[in-house]
Amino acid sequence: MRLAIVDNHGMFMEGFAYSLEQFPEVEKVFSFYPEEVKRIIECLENNLIHLFIIDINLDGMSGFVFAENIKNFAPEMPIAFVTGHGNQANFRTEAREFGAAGFFLKDPKPRQFLAQIIQAINGKKPGMMEEKRLPKLTLREKETLFFICKGYTNKELSEQLNVTLRQVERHKKNLMLKFEVENDKKLIRKAINLGYEIIN
C-alpha cells in the first residue's frame, strides 16, 4: 500500500514514514507539508495514494479545511485524520461528519498504527465509534447487576443481598434508569455490550 501524511511537524512525519516502511505491507509513505500543494496534486493525478492521513492541527489552517480541498480534487480519495492533542471527542465528531476513513492518535506503536490504517483502507473506519459511556453504579447496584446477570429472581436477590423485596425493586429500577432499558433481558444485554466490569 502507498500512504501519504500531511503534517507540519517534520519529525513526526519522518518517524511515521520510517517506522511504517519497515513493514512489508507498506510500499511507500509520502510526506507532505501543507504548503506543498504541487507535489500533492502530482500524487493525486498519478493515483499513487491509497490513504491520505491529515493532521487536524495544521498551522494557519484546519486539517478539515485542507481535506475538503483534497476531496474537491479527488472525491473518491479516502482520508483519515490524526491528532496528538486537543479535544479528541469534538475532533472525532467532526471527522465522522466529514465522512473520514479513520481517526488516529499520534501515540500508538507502529504495528497498531498499521493495523488501524489497514482497517481504514478496508472501510472499517477505526477510531470513529462513539465512546462508550458507562453508567456510574453504587456498590449495591453492582451487586444487584451481577446477580441479575446470573439469572436470580427478585426473591433470590432479596435473600442473597439480605435486603427486602422493596429494596431489590428499587435497585433494579435505578439500574433500568441508568442503562435506559425496560427489563432484565435488555439490562443484561446492554451491560455486556458496554463491556461493564461486573463484580465477581
Burial label, 72 (beta-carbon count in 10 A; 0-12, 13-18, 19+): exposed
Whether pTM > 0.85 for this model: the answer is: no
68-78 pLDDT tens trace: 999 999 999 99
pLDDT tens, 54-72?
A: 999 998 889 999 999 999 9
What is the model's pLDDT at position 87?
63
Which amino acid is it at 146?
F
C-alpha cell at 47: 493515483
User: Model confidence over 126-144: pLDDT tens digits?
Assistant: 887 765 567 888 999 999 9
One digit per residue, pLDDT tens: the chain, 200 residues?
A: 999 999 998 888 999 999 999 999 999 999 999 999 999 999 888 878 999 999 999 988 899 999 999 999 999 999 999 998 766 778 888 898 899 999 998 876 888 889 999 999 999 888 877 655 678 889 999 999 999 988 999 999 999 999 999 999 999 999 999 988 999 988 988 887 666 655 44
Contact 36, 44 (CB under 8 A): no
Domains and CATH numbers, the chain: 2-121 (3.40.50.2300), 139-193 (1.10.10.10)
One DSSP character per residue, 79-148 reads: EEEEESSS-HHHHHHHHHHHT-SEEEES-S-HHHHHHHHHHHHTT--TT-SPPP-PPP--HHHHHHHHHH
* DSSP run (H or E) holding 62: strand 61-62
Compute the distance between CA of residue 26 and CA of residue 79 in angstroms, rounded to an integer: 17
